[in-house]
Structure 1
Amino acid sequence: MTQRLDRIDLLRAAAMLWMTAYHFCFDLDFFGLIQQDFYRDPFWTWQRTAIVSLFLFTAGLSQAVALHQGQPLARFWRRWLQVAGAALLVTAGSLLVFPKSFIYFGVLHGIAVMLILARVTAGWGAWRWPLGALLIALPLVAPAAMAAWPTLDIFNARWLNWLGFISRKPITEDYVPLLPWLGVVWWGMAAGQWMLQHRPCWRGVGDGAATGARRSLVTLGRWSLSYYLLHQPVLMGLIWLATRVL
């Protein structure tokens, strides 16, 4: 049986709290209570990049630990089905709220695909560092490549833009394609495997004695998928209610 490591759950909880603060501000803008440009203002776009990076890096760390502990395929696929099902729920919910920019390949969709690729590439070891860097760099050259070879523009089509080799960002509320984000997952896996091999004390703790704020954060990190699905409906509902009452 695989064992959760508190330190990874703490990192995931930090990403979730940061995401909640970001989405709270986004929702305030959505209801017209503040005026911000979440799609172009670097203050917000860089925060989104950092939050997604932290989520996917911890996903890579988790996969490294799961592989190290010999996670059975049945357990892997059970978790994968939960992530994939949650991704479909996100698509359905976003169709209701944002019909013109619904989420068809957001963070959960990306994670569902990346989990499989992470499992398939489990034996690649330190090669994930340079290969991850390559995947992160490829989107930077896509616009120039498409300008030189116009036939490559086909990668901007919706049925291929989930790969991430694009020159035009699609109109969608959340977009986490394989490029560059699989590179971040691979870096997380490489870092996790290095730590497990060279810094075994980092395995830290699934320490039942921890109490207080730390234990609360660990619990939050362990229920990340449920929290992710529920936090936006709750936030939007509370803000909507406040606008009616106050």
Structure 2
Amino acid sequence: MSEATSIPRPRTMRIPALDIVRSLALCMMVVFHFVFDLEMFGHVPPSTATTGFWRALAVTTAGSFLFLAGVSLYLAHGEGIRWRAFGRRLAILLAAALAVTIGTYLVFPQAFVFFGILHSIALCSLLGLAVLRLPALLIAALAIVVFYAPDYATSDLFNARIWWWTGLQNVTPTTMDYEPIFPWFAPFLAGLAAAKAAAAMGLWARLGNDTPPRTLRVVAWPGQHSLIIYLLHQPVLIGLVGGVTFLIR
């Protein structure tokens, strides 16, 4: 089966399984940020959210979002790049990323988000277009190279702030969320490669479903509105944790 016949058309068909996975990633994100906020308000010991299990959860969650973004890029543009749709989505991502930067700068000026998950997804999406037509195996190999690049390619040449988006500098930025291209382009490429391989096996055609069962629709709903939930969940959590903290102290 060809790639063209194995990809559901993005304008008329959703894939509930992907929305459910996005919902799971969102749940992981909310749980982590709840613990992060508990630490910020002094309810758990310092460094709780940045070490051990909670650090692993944060990395897994970010990697999941980037992997899914790679899958989505292929599903949306595997038959040919739809430039208008791509430009619209990119504009929304950039606007949301800018809102996160401005919001965190106003509240946490010493550790504001200058290249977080949304910034990374936006740039990875642009870079992903350059490799969209490569064979899945070659994209997967490139993902491995990107993942290990920081172990071999870091240099003082990248220490200027303008290059921190690369992740190849020898200084550690102070920021609340940081997913530079190296190594975070790797899970995006892995998602792209996996989506392409799945298309060749006809998986997307089998998973595509316009009318999933009601239970699946409920579970998938958060995944269909992931950007809105991403933008709103932290203000809500901080308000709740901060409000309860104010009342009990």
Aligned to 1:205: 208
Q: Secondary structure of the residue that 1:123 maps to in structure 2?
A: coil
User: 1: distance between equivalents of 2:170 and 2:209?
Assistant: 44
Q: 1:46 to 1:236 in 2, by over 3 A?
A: same
Secondary structure of residue in 1 paired with 2:133: helix
The alignment status of 1:89 with 2:92, answered yes or no, reads no
Instruction: Please name the residue that 2:191 is paired with.
Output: 188
CA distance in 1, matches of 2:199, 2:53: 35
User: How much has 1:217 moved relative to structure 2?
Assistant: 2.5
**Alignment-derived partner of residue 18 in structure 2:** 8
Aligned residue number for residue 222 of structure 1: 224
Deviations 1:107-134 (A, max 9, x none): 0011111111112221112211111100
Q: 1:73/1:201 Cα in 2 relative to 1: closer, same or farther (>3 Å)?
A: closer
Q: Secondary structure at the match of 1:124?
A: coil
Structure 2 unaligned residues grouped into runs of 5+: 1-8
Matched residues, number:
237
Task: Decide which of 159, 164, 173 is 2:162's aligned counterpart.
Answer: 159
| Contact 2:78–2:132 (Cα < 8 Å) also in 1 | no
Matched, 1:41 2:30: no
> Which blocks of at least 5 consecutive residues in structure 1 are unaligned?
144-151
Partner in structure 2 of residue 237 of structure 1: 239
Scaled by the length of structure 2, what TM-score is found?
0.89
Partners of 1:117 and 1:71 lie apart in 2 by 13
**Alpha-carbon distance, 1:43 to partner:** 2.2
TM-score when scaled to structure 1? 0.90
- Aligned-pair RMSD on alpha carbons? 1.8
Q: Output the amino acid matched with 2:180.
A: P
Q: Is the CA contact (8 Å cut-off) linking 2:63 and 2:187 kept in structure 1?
A: yes
* Sequence identity percentage: 34
- Which of these residues, 126, 141, 146, is aligned with residue 152 of structure 2? 141
Q: What is the SS of the residue equivalent to 1:92?
A: helix
Post-superposition Cα deviations, 1:154-197, rounded to whole Å, max 9, x if no partner, equal 21221101111133321111001111111111110010010011
2:29 to 2, 14, 19: 19
Quick check: 2:20–2:220 contact (8 Å CA) kept in 1? Answer: yes
Residues 94 and 38 of structure 1, relative CA distance in 2, 3 Å threshold: farther
8 Å Cα contact 1:196/1:203 also seen in 2: no
After TM superposition, the structure 1 = structure 2 runs for residues 67-106 of structure 1, keeping only pairs within 5 Å, are 67-70=77-80, 72-106=82-116
**2:70 counterpart residue number:** 60
2:117 aligned with 1:115, yes or no?
no
Whether 2:171 is the aligned partner of 1:168: answer yes
Per the alignment, residue 61 of structure 2 pairs with 51
Q: Is the 8 A contact 1:101 1:172 kept in 2?
A: yes
| Aligned counterpart, 1:149 | none
